[in-house]
Amino acid sequence: MDFEKIWESIVAFFNEGYNLYYVIGGAILLLVIIISAVAASKAKKRKSVQEEETVAAVAPAPVAVKRAAKPSASIQYSAPVSVDKPPVAPKKPIAKQDNNTKVAIMTPTPPAQKPDPAKSELPPTTVSSSPEKEENEKIEESLKRPGLIQIYKDNGERYRFRIKASNSYIVGHSQGYTTKYACKNGIAAIAKMIDAETIDTTKQDYKPTIGRSVFEVYRDNENKFRFRLRAANTNNILASQGYTTKENCINGIRSIKHIILNHILQDTTLTRS
């Protein structure tokens, strides 16, 4: 095949002006057709994707259908049991011997009885209160109403006074005085020392106080807590009974202060024969 002639023919074809224009126009037209076809294909594909998304959004979600499981042949159904009546216990065979022959006789077992709620309730138990609680209750009761300061004579014919709460609970008692006048002065002295400080002598860091009146908390020979009111000259003016706890002993001091401010004075020596 002669390539030179072919090449010369091609060159001669393009050398003619009109033929060159036709070729360029045809190439442009072909390029436009290809571009249009590609654009149409992309638009069609995009439209198809949008339709699929729309259909998926509108279509309802599939509902899972749950099938009832078939009963297994191994399942055994028991007869319904009445709730109102308790189940009756099965009868027990009792062997009885008659003419050397054992005969099984079915004796019915009595049904179980329901417990009676009224009978099953336990009786209320009485909780015995401790001595500490009784002391605290008496002290709290003494703070509700005015107390009583009672002047009396002891077995040695000396005058004394005792401080009693509104529930007749003796909170404290005084020393002995030779005259009733001195006994009343002792009551007046306590009223002046009502704001005295409370000192706990049972603590290790206790330091004795001199020159001022104080309520002293201490332990007696029975290891009980007591308090005494000591004047500035260290004389004991008032002493308490024994308490099982230190807290109740300190509350007894509160009760003394309350009764000194709210009390009725009673002189029992006037009625003595």
Same structural domain for residues 148 and 264?
Answer: yes
Instruction: Examine residue 121 and state whether it is found in any structural domain, yes or no.
Output: no
Instruction: Examine residue 149 and state whether it is found in any structural domain, yes or no.
Output: yes
Q: End-to-end alpha-carbon separation of the chain, Å?
A: 174
Same structural domain for residues 30 and 150?
Answer: no
Same structural domain for residues 256 and 136?
Answer: yes
Helix axes 17-58, 3-15, angle to 10 degrees: 90
Structural domain count, the chain = 2
E strand residue ranges, 85-201: 92-98, 101-107, 147-153, 159-164, 170-174, 197-200
Minimum mean pLDDT among 40-49, 101-110, 123-132: which range?
101-110
Instruction: Examine residue 238 and state whether it is found in any structural domain, yes or no.
Output: yes
Q: What is the pLDDT of residues 52-73, one digit of tens each?
A: 777 666 555 555 545 555 545 4
Question: Locate tokens 């002639």: which residue?
Answer: 5
Cα distance between residue 27 and residue 58, in whole Å: 47
Same structural domain for residues 35 and 135?
Answer: no
For residue 222, give the CATH number of its domain: 2.30.29.80
Query: Which residue range(s) make up the domain with 7?
Result: 1-40
Cα distance between residue 171 and residue 253, in whole Å: 8
Same structural domain for residues 137 and 264?
Answer: yes
Between 266 and 143, the higher pLDDT residue: 266
Q: Vertex 97, ends 94 and 101: CA angle to 5°?
A: 115
Same structural domain for residues 146 and 246?
Answer: yes
Same structural domain for residues 30 and 155?
Answer: no
Q: For residue 106, is pLDDT > 70?
A: no
pTM beyond cutoff 0.85: no
Residue 218: DSSP 8-state: E
Residue 177: DSSP 8-state: B
Q: What is the pLDDT of residues 148-157, one digit of tens each?
A: 999 999 999 9
Task: Give every CB contact of residue 111 below 8 A, 6+ residues apart in sequence.
Answer: 85, 86, 88, 89
Cα distance between residue 257 and residue 190, in whole Å: 9
Q: How many CB atoms lie within 10 A of CB 258?
A: 21
Q: What is the pLDDT of residues 169-207, one digit of tens each?
A: 889 999 999 999 999 999 999 999 888 989 999 988 888
Cβ(98)–Cβ(104) under 8 Å?
A: no
Report the pLDDT value the prediction gives residue 103, as an integer from 0 to 100.
47
Same structural domain for residues 29 and 135?
Answer: no
Instruction: Examine residue 122 and state whether it is found in any structural domain, yes or no.
Output: no
Same structural domain for residues 13 and 137?
Answer: no
Report the pLDDT value the prediction gives residue 127, as an integer from 0 to 100.
47
Instruction: Examine residue 136 and state whether it is found in any structural domain, yes or no.
Output: yes
In the chain, the percentage of residues whose pLDDT exceeds 90 is: 27
Same structural domain for residues 28 and 148?
Answer: no
